[in-house]
Structure 1
Amino acid sequence: MTEIENTAFHEAGHAVAHARLDIDQLSASIIPDSDRSLLGGNVASDSFWDEEGVRGQILALLSGYAALVARGLNEGEAEQGCISDFAKAQDLIQAFELGAMVQWKKRAVELMERPENIRAVARVAQELLERKRIDVDDIECCIEIADGISTEEDFSRMKQIRGSVGSKP
């Protein structure tokens, strides 16, 4: 896999985890940010008020890494570009005394290895590779396609309608 493909699957992992764990998100992208030396990003809510919310945030933070492990990369390869995600997750784990990072990484991998999540991550990554940036509606539609709820035709119609009212496709 190329660096851009790895980044797409990493960001798709975050996006799918946010959706599956019901954490608000706005968008995902694989557009380089030279100011921060990043290749991709995921804009999501970081507001959580209870331990359950913290647990979801930890899993979401580690799901970029986990999506790559689920795709077949070894741990060392999957960890590339995860320093910030790991640091944020570790801070939450320590602050709320929720165990060891290794346990949380394992849980995130288990989440991303579920067949429905492998399909959803692949579909979101495909869309990211095609368009570079997608919003929450795109993410949700990709997941619905992967889950068999919507079709590619439904998604095409949605993009057409959004384009006709001035939204970015």
Structure 2
Amino acid sequence: MQLKPFTAILPTTSGLKKITSGTTTDWTAADEQLQTTPAYYWYELTSHGIHQWRLLANWTAPATVTTMAPAAINTVLYPQQPVIEMLIDDWVGHFPKACDVTDPAGTTHRLWQITDADVLADITETMAAITPRKTWLTTTPTPLVMLVAEPEWTKFDQPLTMPAHLIRLG
């Protein structure tokens, strides 16, 4: 997969309060902030004590891809990769959380912003050799993708959704 880091727009404190309360229809510029550095984001969803990990990245090639959940940020499954699991285990604790919010459904969403140049290069290189699992076709190109290992995806009977305004391309 041809991935690269991206500059994101994340919610401010007021935006996080709106996500928590489910009142995002009155979203304003004061509810979001442009990050200053391109990054990858580790994304952890927690529901009923079960955690699921995703990697948020910029999909650089305008390729035809198959996805699990066509949306503003497509969810792409890939075969389990011990290297990626090791990267998550080794790096998440070294970076501060960029965002931590619980939505009205009780699902907690946490983002870690990965900005270290060496780590970014390792993720880009590691993911380059991975072929996504085929599911169904989307013809809409998307600049952002959420990558999920197949065992992570199967942790929940119904896929968990990302709140509106949690993260987007800057």
Fold shared, TM-score > 0.5 on shorter chain: no
Q: Which one has a larger percent strand, Structure 1 or Structure 2? A: 2
What's the TM-score once normalised by structure 1's chain length?
Answer: 0.27
Q: Which has the higher contact order (CA 8 A, sep 6+)?
A: 2
Return the structure number with greater helix share.
1
